[in-house]
Amino acid sequence: MNRWLLHPLAKPALFLVCSLPWCWLVFAVLTDRLGANPAEALIRSLGDWSIRALVLVLLVTPLRVITGWSALARWRRMLGLFVFFYASLHLLAYVWFDMGGDVAAVLDDVVQRPFILLGMVAWVLLLCLALTSFNRAIRWLGAMRWRALHRMVYLVAGLGTLHFFWMRSGKNDHAEVWVYAVCFVALLGWRGWHALRMRSQSPAQTTT
C-alpha cells in the first residue's frame, strides 16, 4: 500500500477527488440545480465539505499509525489546504450572497449572531494553519512550536462543530452535527490515548 501511496499519480488523484465537490457545486450553480434557495444551499454545502475534509485530515495520523501506511503523512498537507479552501469558499459565499458583499453588515451580523463569530474565529485559525503549512514555515518556527501551533486544528474542529450545531438549532436538526461531533471526539480521544501510550513506552525503550 505504501508503494501505491507514493506513486507519482497518487497526489494528483487525491487533488482531483478533493476537487470533485467544488466542481459539482459550480456545475449545480451554472445549471440551476440548487433548489428554491440556491444561495443557502451553496453556503451550507461548502460548510459541509469543510467539516468533512477536516474529519479526513484528523483521520490521517490514526490511520497511518494503525495500518503502518507511513506514506499517508504526505497527504495531510493537501487535505488540510482543502479544508481551508472549502471554508474560505463557505465564508465568501456567505459574505457575497447572504450579506451582499457589505462588510459593515457582516461585522454587525458577527456581533448579533454568535454562531457567525464562532465560524469567523475558526476560519482565522485555519488561515494561520494554512499560512504555516509549508516547509519554510516549519524551519522558521521550529518543529516543536510548529507542532504546537498545528494542534489548534482540534480547536478548529470544536469551533466548527459548535458553529454547525448553533446554525442547525433554528430548525432543531442536529442528527448530522452529532455524527461529526462523535467523529471529532473519537479522533481526539485516540490522539490523547496514543500520546500517553508513547510516553509510557519511551522510558522503557530508553532503558533497553
In a domain, 73, yes or no: yes
In a domain, 201, yes or no: no
Contact 68, 51 (CB under 8 A): no
Query: Could you list the residue range(s) of the whole structural domain that residue 19 is in?
Result: 2-192
Task: Name the percent of the chain lying above pLDDT 70.
Answer: 95
In a domain, 58, yes or no: yes
User: What count of other Cβ atoms lies within 10 Å of the Cβ of residue 20?
Assistant: 10
Angstrom distances, CA of residue 191 to CA of 4, 157, 161, 162? 26, 14, 18, 21
Within 8 A by CB and 6+ apart from 59, the residues are 187
Report residue 112: phi and psi, to 5°.
Answer: -80, -30
| Mean pLDDT score across all residues of the chain | 89
In a domain, 202, yes or no: no
In a domain, 205, yes or no: no
Contact 50, 94 (CB under 8 A): no
pLDDT attached to residue 20: 97
Q: Residues 37-63: what's their mean pLDDT?
A: 94
> For the ranges 87-91, 113-117, 165-169, 182-186, which has the lowest average pLDDT?
165-169
Contact 103, 151 (CB under 8 A): no
Contact 51, 160 (CB under 8 A): yes
User: Per-residue pLDDT tens for 98-151?
Assistant: 888 888 999 998 888 888 999 999 999 999 999 999 888 888 989 889 989 999
Query: Domain total for the chain?
Result: 1
pLDDT band of residue 194 (cuts 50, 70, 90) is: confident
Does 171 have pLDDT greater than 80? no
In a domain, 146, yes or no: yes
Q: Residues 28-56: what's their mean pLDDT?
A: 93
DSSP, collapsed to helix, strand or coil, labels residue 133 as: coil
pLDDT band of residue 203 (cuts 50, 70, 90) is: low
pLDDT band of residue 28 (cuts 50, 70, 90) is: very high
Angstrom distances, CA of residue 119 to CA of 39, 136, 158, 208? 18, 28, 10, 49
Measured CA to CA, the distance from residue 160 to residue 78 in angstroms comes to 19
pLDDT attached to residue 170: 67
Measured CA to CA, the distance from residue 4 to residue 129 in angstroms comes to 28
Nearest residue to 19 via CA among 70, 119, 89: 89
In a domain, 204, yes or no: no
Query: Between the ranges 100-104, 165-169, 170-174, where is the mean pLDDT highest?
Result: 100-104
Contact 115, 167 (CB under 8 A): yes
Measured CA to CA, the distance from residue 125 to residue 153 in angstroms comes to 8
DSSP, collapsed to helix, strand or coil, labels residue 42 as: helix
pLDDT band of residue 208 (cuts 50, 70, 90) is: very low
pLDDT attached to residue 207: 43
pLDDT attached to residue 202: 65
In a domain, 197, yes or no: no
